[in-house]
Structure 1
Amino acid sequence: MDKSRVSAVAALLITGFAIVYVVGSAIAGWEPSSGWLIRAIIHIGELLAVAALAFSDAGGRSRVARTGLAAAIGGQLIIAAAEVIWPSNPDLGDALFSVSPILTGAGLITAGVAVIRAGVWAGSSRFLPLTLGLYTILVLIPVMIGSGGPPAPLALWTIGGWDLLWLVLSAGVLGRTRTALPSDPATAKVTIR
């Protein structure tokens, strides 16, 4: 298995769990005392989805794609750190929470445009990174600000939608197929059906 597939499998499992966890928290109105650790692991799963996308070369080898993916990886690392820091230092945790989704969303939008332009992925799947980035900026961030964030039910349901998009992106990387052009196997393209 190549790096993109290994990362995508791990991301798929963790983001699948994340959806169950967040929906369960929204319905029950309760979260365990170790919720900060569970959420940090979930953000690492989301980070693995970005890594899978990067390893897949869906954005080609462009500087724009690499820059966007690096920003999204940075955003996910910061949000995972924020979950761990927040219980002992809420002010610093809140500052990190305010920066990380912007970095992730902007990075995914940038990388998403590069994925569309590269034409390496075919079909509607090529729009997944851009869709996830736009959801982060246009839906997730405003809802977090307006609702005050978790444990507000609207915030939890919105996070559930976010993790569903991470799951779909991970599945998209896993579902890709390699097709080589008969004249030049070195120019093989990755397509998602």
Structure 2
Amino acid sequence: MTRPRATAVAALLITAAGALYAAIVASTQWEPSLGWLVQAVIHVGELLAALALGLTVANRVARGGLAAAVVGQALLAIAEVVYPGSPGLGDVLFGIGPMLTGVGLIVAGSVLVRGPDRTVWPLILGLYVFVVMTPVLIGTGGPPAPAAVWTIAGWDVLWALVAAVAVRRFTPAEAGPNREAAVVSARRPPR
């Protein structure tokens, strides 16, 4: 990845748009026929948020957790694309992706919350998967139930906050000598 800050900014824009999209779908109970494609793009934005944050972290355990979240989000993006033609496979991927993402974010968040920034959003997002999202999706049967869609909108808002953390970590004015971003960027080879 040659432009990590651009990745973080793209993640922020996509996840913020995803939160708005989910809120519109939840409030109107209408989704376009290509909604699956929009949702796949939103999951790619979430994947970029985890990837961008991982580029700012020096701790191997946190990077491993964020890598698991990236894989989980990739599975969700694939599930969105596969589901219309193969609902069985899509359901399996929808079951695995969020769990992998949640575990990865809890692992990464447990490290990051104790780091120099005390970043809480990855941990909160990881816990949200198991404490809020999974029970609501199971209890309602998932989308298009309004409670399920609002829960997904909350998930998207939390992803936008994680992306904002990644953007902030790549902002040169805030990357002081004690920041993990400075440690990671110091390891990069010169261009």
Instruction: Tell me the TM-score range normalised by the shorter chain.
Output: 0.7 to 0.9
Cross-structure match for 2:153 = 160
Aligned to 2:59: 61
Q: Root-mean-square deviation (CA), in Å?
A: 2.1
Q: Shift of residue 169 of structure 1?
A: 1.2
Equivalent residue number for residue 17 of structure 1: 17
Aligned-pair CA distance for 1:33: 0.7
* Deviation readout 1:60-80 (Å, 9 max, x if unpaired): 232x22321121111000000
Q: Which amino acid aligns with 1:140?
A: M
Of 109, 112, 115, the match for 1:112: 109
SS of 1:109's partner is: helix
Question: Which of residues 76, 81, 84 in structure 1 aligns to 2:81?
Answer: 84
Q: Match for 1:84: what amino acid?
A: V
Partner of 1:44: 44
For 1:151 and 1:186, the matched residues in 2 are separated by 41
| 1:170 equivalent in alignment to 2:163 | yes
Q: Where in structure 1 do 4 or more consecutive aligned residues deviate above 4 Å?
A: 185-190
Distance (whole Å) between structure 1 residues aligned to residue 125 and residue 4 of structure 2: 18
Q: Distance in 2 between matches of 1:16 and 1:104?
A: 19
Identify which of 80, 83, 100 aligns with 1:103.
Answer: 100
Mapped contact 1:4–1:53 kept (Cα < 8 A): no
Distance 2:145 2:180 in 1: 51
TM-score norm. by structure 1 comes to: 0.86
TM-score w.r.t. the length of structure 2 is: 0.87
Q: Is contact 1:8-1:49 (8 Å) kept?
A: yes
Superposed displacement of residue 189, structure 1: 6.2
Deviations 1:94-137 (A, max 9, x none): 111011100000000001112124x2324xxx111111100112
After superposition, the Cα gap between the structure-2 partners of 1:66 and 1:34, relative to the gap in structure 1 and judged at 3 Å, is same
Change (3 A) 1:14 1:175: same
Task: Give the Cα–Cα distance (whole angstroms) in 1 for the partners of residues 180 and 107 of structure 2.
Answer: 27
Q: Give the Cα–Cα distance (whole angstroms) in 2 for the partners of residues 85 and 110 of structure 1.
A: 29
Unaligned runs of 5+ in 2: 185-191
Letter in 2 for 1:175: R
